Structure 1
Amino acid sequence: MIAYDLMKRLKELGYIKEERDPYWWPKSGSFEVVVGAVLTQNTKWENVEKALENLKNELGSIEPQKIVEMDQKRLAALIKPAGFYNTKAFRIQKLVHNMLDEYGSFEAFQKRPSRSWLLAQKGIGFETADSILNYACYKDFLVVDAYTARILNFLGYELQTYQEIQEFLSDSILENLDRIYELYGQEMPLSQIYARFHGKIVEFCKEHCKGRDQAEKIKELLV
């Protein structure tokens, strides 16, 4: 029951605090999430928002064809706030070019996305792929990040790999769906449960998982 207990406790503590989207990630279900998922690698979300705002100011709207047709140096300059801007500009354009070549449009990709296809793209790892699948495509993939691993470690669970953590928490959620529906007062798509669970963890850790020797503090808050 670890996932349910953790979800319940985080909800009691007031998370999610930033109700910006039913799926937590801003503009969920849109192509913008694809770009944001790459931009958020190794940086803070606040920096991603600045980069996305630059793109919107330049392009009017963030659309696949506009991204592909941009000069790569100009794209890099616009996303500079997100860091590693030359690498990310290359990865974003390559991903979007391949998406259009393989699927024809983001909407077509969204209807039948492939995790294996995403993972085969340059610079796309598990976390980025699952962020795109969950937040852009509303598919049943739980995003795991460093915050997730840290919380589980603080709570005494020694899970080593992304897949181990994902399966451990996903199985726990699936086993307790009725309890989760009761917690929220309604039935919800599994993809949305995964999305909001991840959002709770991220928001909690941004506030409380700073610095070293946080284990006892986290235990007191969550147990």
Structure 2
Amino acid sequence: MTSIDSSYDLLCFLKEQNLIDEKNEFWWPNDNSFEILLGSILTQNTKWTNVEKSLENLKKLNINSLEKLSKINLEELIIAITPSGFKNQKSVRLIALAKNIIEEFDSFENFCLKVDRTWLLKQKGIGPETADAILCYSCKQDYMVVDSYTNRLLKRFGYEFETYEELQAWCEYGINENYDKIAKLYNYEISLNKIYARFHGKIIEFMKRNPKG
């Protein structure tokens, strides 16, 4: 495998692989911001195919807003999200999160504009990866999500990181330092948020196609 000196080199390497369908602008398989919020919680410790089943069940129940989620019967929610696993725990946390967002931000739109990482990390069941997924994909803020795929890929290139924050900082630094170069790689105006989203997506898609290396 080719050698890389920075996350910019890694992005260039991945960009040559044609890993993301252009119709998915931000890579995340859903472009509904509220459903992305739900999905970022539901996807913990399970496969995305299971999350899709849960989201479909929630659609059938017409749970499409914070208000409806905050008032749903707990048992009904547990049944709906059963495919995602940890159904009892995730149900309690989703309802609590909806109530806390309403209390703190009043509306989902205001939440997306004003929420920060510190607030999210204070919420039960939200760790760094989930918080950054919400900020990047749901709120369209400039945060790079890193995960086990990112860690495993970088180990192949000889890089190892002790913490989530170190891995994230390494990924973000090379992108920020070379933003002008990256902007030229695309044939359209692209935001830092979208670069982070697509970079994360490329890493995941590459590792799914190349599980061993």
TM-score band (shorter)?
A: over 0.9
Deviation string, structure 1 residues 140-195 (Cα, Å, up to 9, x no partner)? 00001110111111110011110000001100101111221121123311000000
Return structure 1 stretches of 4+ with deviation > 3 angstroms: 26-29
| Higher mean C-alpha deviation, range 183-192 or range 129-138 | 183-192
Residue in structure 1 matched with residue 67 of structure 2 by the alignment = 65
In 1: Cα distance, 2:88 partner to 2:128 partner: 21
Q: Quick one: structure 1 residues 199 and 83, their matched pair in 2 at CA, closer, same or farther if it must change by over 3 Å?
A: same
Give the partner amino acid of 1:42.
N
Of residues 99, 103, 106, the one that matches 2:105 is 103
C-alpha displacement at 1:27, in angstroms?
Answer: 3.6
Name the counterpart of 1:141: 143
How many percent of aligned residue pairs carry the same amino acid? 48
Q: Structure 1: how far apart are the matches of 2:91 and 2:22?
A: 29
Secondary structure, counterpart of 1:157 in structure 2:
coil
Q: Give, in whole Å, the separation in 1 of the partners of 2:72 and 2:137.
A: 25
Residues paired across the two proteins, number = 209
Letter of the 1:110 counterpart = C
Q: Aligned residue for 1:188?
A: 190
Q: Distance in 1 between matches of 2:200 and 2:155?
A: 16
3-state SS in 1 of match to 2:45 = coil
Gaps of 5+ in 1: 218-223
Q: 1:55 aligns with which of 41, 45, 58?
A: 58
Superposition pairs of residues 124-203 of structure 1, within 5 angstroms = 124-203=126-205
Per-residue CA deviation, residues 13-55 of structure 1 (Å, 9 max, x unaligned), is: 1111x44531111343611111110001011111111110111
Q: 1:3 aligns with which of 3, 7, 10?
A: 7
Query: In 2, Cα distance between the equivalents of 1:46 and 1:184?
Result: 30
Once residues 179 and 192 of structure 2 are traced to their aligned partners in structure 1, the CA distance between those partners, rounded to angstroms, is 9
CA distance in 2, matches of 1:45, 1:27: 11
Would you say the 8 A contact 1:20–1:26 is kept in 2?
no
CA distance in 2, matches of 1:19, 1:38: 25
- TM-score, normalised relative to structure 2: 0.93
The unaligned stretches of length 5 or more in structure 2 are: none
SS at match of 1:35: helix
Aligned residues of 1:147 and 1:202 also touching (Cα < 8 A): yes
Q: Report the secondary structure of 2:141's partner residue.
A: coil
Q: 1:32 aligns with which of 17, 31, 35?
A: 35
